[in-house]
């Protein structure tokens, strides 16, 4: 059932993009279901986030073909083959922020480079994860954490369909705030066909991103 829902959401998204009066560059090429874990230390401070990406079927096939894996197409690979995939999407160029953006009390928090990368093939889909530590632990007093997962260029389209969890902390509440897709399409149209006259496709990915908020009781 979950696979069917994901497929329908992607189909509807692609249809909406085709019908929307935007340039071809606005169409996402990769669809990724994302998940997040908020990791706390024993003092009740937020110290890291774990991000999980589940790639769409087509991108999974392309990646497996690039590595010369799953040649029989049965959706199964060996343990040794799986090891070859670990970290394949962690070779980030300078300036790339990992498509994950964390704020606390409306202030952008710095996330470190990816660590503890994993990769596996599950039911024909490539799923990877990595952990990003915060420069400074967050005590969670006096503000809420907000996490968005998106590609600013909208080449990759993310959803938060893999869910979220809190690790090593009680008394926290999460809320997933859906993106206003109608507004997002309007923004794209206005930027592309407005008075700016800029032929470059603007960075609109954030407008299509859900927001995951986290608040915790003052005492841990």
Residue 24 lies in a domain: no
As averages over each run of 10 residues, the pLDDT of the chain (220 residues) reads 42 41 62 98 97 97 95 90 96 94 96 97 96 96 94 95 96 96 90 60 89 85
Asked if 146 contacts 152 with a C-beta cutoff of 8 angstroms, the reply is no
Q: What span, in angstroms and rounded, lies between the C-alpha atoms of 133 and 106?
A: 19
Nearest to 162 by CA among 152, 180, 176: 176
Model pLDDT, residue 103:
97
Residue 122 lies in a domain: yes
Residue 107 lies in a domain: yes
Q: What span, in angstroms and rounded, lies between the C-alpha atoms of 218 and 172?
A: 10
Q: Which residues constitute the domain of residue 105?
A: 30-216
- Domain count of the fold of the chain: 1
Please report, for the chain, how many H helices and E strands are present, in that order. 4, 11
Residue 141 lies in a domain: yes
Model pLDDT, residue 216:
94
Asked if 132 contacts 114 with a C-beta cutoff of 8 angstroms, the reply is yes
Residue 12 lies in a domain: no
Spatial neighbors of 77 by CB under 8 A, at least 6 apart, are 64, 69, 70, 121
Model pLDDT, residue 161:
96
Q: What span, in angstroms and rounded, lies between the C-alpha atoms of 67 and 155?
A: 22
Q: What span, in angstroms and rounded, lies between the C-alpha atoms of 151 and 153?
A: 5
Asked if 93 contacts 72 with a C-beta cutoff of 8 angstroms, the reply is no
Residue 6 lies in a domain: no
How many C-beta atoms surround the C-beta of residue 23 within 10 A? Answer: 12
Model pLDDT, residue 16:
41
Residue 98 lies in a domain: yes
Residue 195 lies in a domain: yes
Model pLDDT, residue 12:
37
């Amino acid at each position: 059932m979950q696979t069917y829902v994901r497929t329908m959401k992607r189909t509807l998204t692609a249809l909406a993009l085709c019908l929307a009066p935007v340039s071809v560059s606005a169409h996402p090429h990769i669809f990724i279901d994302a998940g997040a874990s908020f990791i706390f230390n024993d003092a009740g401070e937020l110290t890291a986030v774990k991000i999980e990406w589940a790639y769409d079927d087509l991108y999974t096939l392309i990646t497996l073909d690039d590595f010369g894996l799953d040649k029989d197409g049965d959706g199964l690979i060996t343990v040794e083959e799986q090891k070859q995939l670990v970290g394949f999407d962690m070779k980030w160029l300078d300036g790339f922020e990992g498509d994950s953006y964390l704020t606390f009390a409306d202030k952008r928090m710095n996330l470190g480079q990816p660590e503890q990368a994993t990769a596996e093939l599950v039911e024909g889909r490539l799923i990877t994860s990595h952990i990003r530590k915060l420069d400074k632990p967050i005590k969670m007093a006096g503000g809420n954490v907000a996490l968005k997962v998106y590609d600013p260029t909208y080449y990759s389209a993310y959803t938060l369909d893999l869910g979220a969890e809190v690790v090593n902390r009680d008394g926290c509440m999460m809320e997933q705030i859906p993106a206003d897709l109608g507004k997002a399409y309007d923004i794209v149209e206005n930027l592309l066909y407005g008075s700016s006259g800029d032929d470059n496709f603007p960075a609109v990915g954030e407008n299509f991103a859900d927001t995951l908020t986290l608040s915790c009781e003052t005492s841990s």
